[in-house]
Structure formats: structure tokens, C-alpha cells
């Protein structure tokens, strides 16, 4: 589970990336400064993409876990067992067969 510091690191990296893009889009940087900003932007982009991939994998794992019920759980759609009144109790079956058909 991501910690608060990981979330804040992601947010900070994203904000810095947005600022870099704005500076580069203005077009008033010297070539050397523009290249340094671009390199930093690539680094930040990769960091953010990695964090997003990790979050996506966690979501997929959670969805898979929730989608596949364990064999020992009963879903809401399937009855847990047969009607308790229709299940013969020990001894009742022999008594009812001795009485003959109803």
C-alpha cells in the first residue's frame, strides 16, 4: 500500500513536470537550459509512469481477488443448502417409508 510520502512524492513530481512543460512551451529558454529541463521532464515522466503502473497493478490484484470468490464462500445468487424442511432427519426417512405412500 502506498504511504503518504509516496503519494506526496508522486504529486510533487507531477507538479514539477507541469512547471517544466510550461517553461518549455514558452520557448524563451536557451538551448542548454531547454535540454536540461527536457531531461528532467523525461526523468519525472518515467517516475510518474512507474508509480501509476504500480497503482494499476494493485487495483487489478484487488479486483481479481474480489471477482473470484473462494470455494468456501457462498455467493448471494446460489442457495447455501437445500430447504431445511425437505432434508430428512435421521430416523424420519425410515418411519415415513414404513407408513407407505402419502
Which residues, other chains included, contact 96 with Cβ-Cβ below 8 Å and sequence gap of 6+?
A: 88
The grid coordinates of residue 77 equal 445468487
pLDDT for 71 beyond 70:
no
Angle at CA 67, nearest 5°, toward 54 and 70? Answer: 115
Instruction: State the DSSP code for 85.
Output: G
Model pLDDT, residue 82: 52
CA–CA dist 85, 65 (Å, integer): 35
Q: What is the pLDDT of residue 65?
A: 82
Residues 45/37, Cβ–Cβ less than 8 Å: no
Residues 3-55: tens digit of each pLDDT? 677 788 999 999 999 999 999 999 999 999 999 999 999 999 999 999 999 99
Once rounded to an integer, what is the mean pLDDT over residues 54-59? 92
Quote the distance between the C-alpha of residue 60 and its chain's center.
4
Identify the CATH assignment for 4-69 out of 3.40.50.620, 2.50.20.10, 1.20.1510.10, 1.10.287.1040.
Answer: 1.10.287.1040
Amino acid at each position: 500500500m502506498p504511504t503518504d510520502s509516496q503519494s506526496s512524492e508522486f504529486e510533487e513530481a507531477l507538479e514539477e513536470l507541469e512547471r517544466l512543460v510550461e517553461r518549455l512551451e514558452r520557448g524563451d529558454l536557451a538551448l542548454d537550459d531547454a535540454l536540461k529541463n527536457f531531461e528532467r521532464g523525461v526523468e519525472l515522466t518515467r517516475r510518474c509512469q512507474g508509480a501509476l503502473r504500480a497503482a494499476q497493478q494493485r487495483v487489478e490484484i484487488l479486483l481479481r481477488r474480489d471477482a473470484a470468490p473462494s470455494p468456501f464462500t457462498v455467493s448471494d445468487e446460489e442457495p447455501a443448502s437445500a430447504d431445511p424442511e425437505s432434508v430428512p432427519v435421521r430416523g424420519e426417512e425410515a418411519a415415513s417409508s414404513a407408513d407407505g405412500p402419502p
